[in-house]
Amino acid sequence: MTAELAFKSAHDLSHAYHSGGLSPVDVTENLFARLEQLEPVLNAFCVLDRDAALEAARASERRWKAGQPLSAIDGIPVSVKDIILTKGWPTLRGSLTISPDQPWDVDGPAVARLREAGAVIFGKTTTPEFASKPVTNSALTGITRNPWNPALTPGGSSGGAAAAVASGLGPLALATDAGGSIRIPASLCGVFGHKPSGGRVPMFPPTPYASLAGFGPITRNVTDAAMMLSVISRPDTRDFGALPYDPVAYEERLDDRDLSALRIAYSPTMGYAEVDPELEAVVRRAIDKLAANGANIDIVDKVMESPIEAMERLKKGFADYAFRHLGPEAMAKVDPMIAAEIEASRGADLAKHFDAEMERAELHRQMAEFHKTYDILLTPVISAQAFPAEQDAPEGGGRYDWIPFTSPFNMTRQPAASIPCGFATSGMPIGMHIVGPQFADLAVLQAARQFEKILPWEDIKPQYGKQDAAIS
């Protein structure tokens, strides 16, 4: 097993396959050797299938040798969050209420596109129950830990995906985000996470959270995310709310826009958030470095009134529908905190739900006006530093108090991303939030690519805590 091979990007692997310098089989075998060493530390996976992965890798190897790869990600290892249907494997959503004894004979759209592109789908990553917590723990799979310090949380709900990518356990991870579930763990694990515009990546089956949720990549660099988005955004007739297909190769357009041409706003609080001072100072230093390298950045104290209460009313209405089928026996198996929230949503006031939808429409209008002046909005990703993995929130805080920046842009369906921008004195990574206008996924990726050149992070790797410092 070599760490050097484990941390190669999807982009570099693709070039190595083309030249014959590497084989998808070698990469996959190296991956599973690394999994044996690190998975007991991280607990990032709920399904691993070495045999299926090697079969896919051998098929990919034959295609590359014949000069007939299916795509640039042919033979690249990819993990899938356990919220997304994956043929042949159970999708239990981190819950004891779902029976594994089902056919499991359907791929969700993004998974189907990855298979068609020849990706090596090797396992499913952990999620909290129903992907409904910003940390990653459940009665089904236990606690997932942060590779930078296993005593701390990786965030959630795509914590398994982010921990895996940060650890060199596959360069690409397919994740979901309905309130920050890609961006929160990307920030806490020191990787790149992109939440595409609502509808950019087709989804199936439909979920009650579909108007808030989206599928997207978690990777160690921007180019890999762009490569993955080019694949998973291809059309699927099963999603009635999907955007018209835009056949852009995102990875080929990343350097089309110069940093100095971007009109950028930085808001440290959006006008309502309370942010840990050290965390904000790290983000501010990154902002200053971008400005010193030609970025045109205005400081904007207030972007909007807090939309958090409206978001909570929306979630109650969605939860009432999503979980009304769970009777007393099933509810007894649900995480007590989640169960309490489900019970509180029973019989949600329809009028309040539609009031929240109207507030959502107004928020969309405000942000559309904002982006007439600014191409990109920057903020912190979260407002608190990493906390113990056994907790659902920082000490003394509410479950959602520390994530005030991400969910507004699920409400507006805008594309947004988290990029690493520095480290706290604890040694834990801190992310910066990039938000673009609705549908402007390319603009977000282009901005992220320019920032990546100024704030490089790909070569900085976690050490898995002092007790495992030899693992690198």
DSSP state of 388: B
Q: Are 367 and 412 in contact (CB under 8 A)?
A: yes
Q: Are 180 and 407 in contact (CB under 8 A)?
A: yes
Alpha-carbon gap, residue 411 to 362, rounded angstroms: 10
Beta carbons within 8 Å of 190's beta carbon, 6+ residues apart: 148, 166, 420, 429, 431, 457, 460, 462
DSSP per residue, 4-15 = HHHT--HHHHHH
Q: Are 177 and 417 in contact (CB under 8 A)?
A: no
Q: Which among 303, 278, 270, 274 is positioned nearest to 383, based on CA atoms?
A: 274
Alpha-carbon gap, residue 373 to 259, rounded angstroms: 16
For residue 189, which phi and psi values (nearest 5 degrees)? -105, 0
Beta carbons within 8 Å of 51's beta carbon, 6+ residues apart: none
Q: Which amino acid is at 311?
A: M
Give yes or no: 124 in active site: no
Q: Which H or E element spans position 264? A: strand 263-266
| CA distance readout (Å), 378 to 116, 206, 428 | 35, 31, 20
Alpha-carbon gap, residue 456 to 421, rounded angstroms: 8
| CA distance readout (Å), 285 to 190, 290, 460 | 17, 9, 18
Give yes or no: 23 in active site: no
Q: Are 154 and 185 in contact (CB under 8 A)?
A: yes
Q: Which among 57, 78, 60 is positioned nearest to 68, based on CA atoms?
A: 60
Beta carbons within 8 Å of 68's beta carbon, 6+ residues apart: none
Q: Are 245 and 235 in contact (CB under 8 A)?
A: yes
Catalytic residue from among 157, 158, 197, 233? 157
Catalytic residue from among 8, 14, 79, 81? 81
For residue 34, which phi and psi values (nearest 5 degrees)? -70, -40
Give yes or no: 181 in active site: yes
Alpha-carbon gap, residue 461 to 472, rounded angstroms: 7
HSE, side-chain direction, 13 A CA sphere, residue 86: 29
Catalytic residue from among 181, 187, 267, 407? 181
Bridge partners, residue 195, by sequence: 416
Which residues have a catalytic role annotated? 81, 157, 181
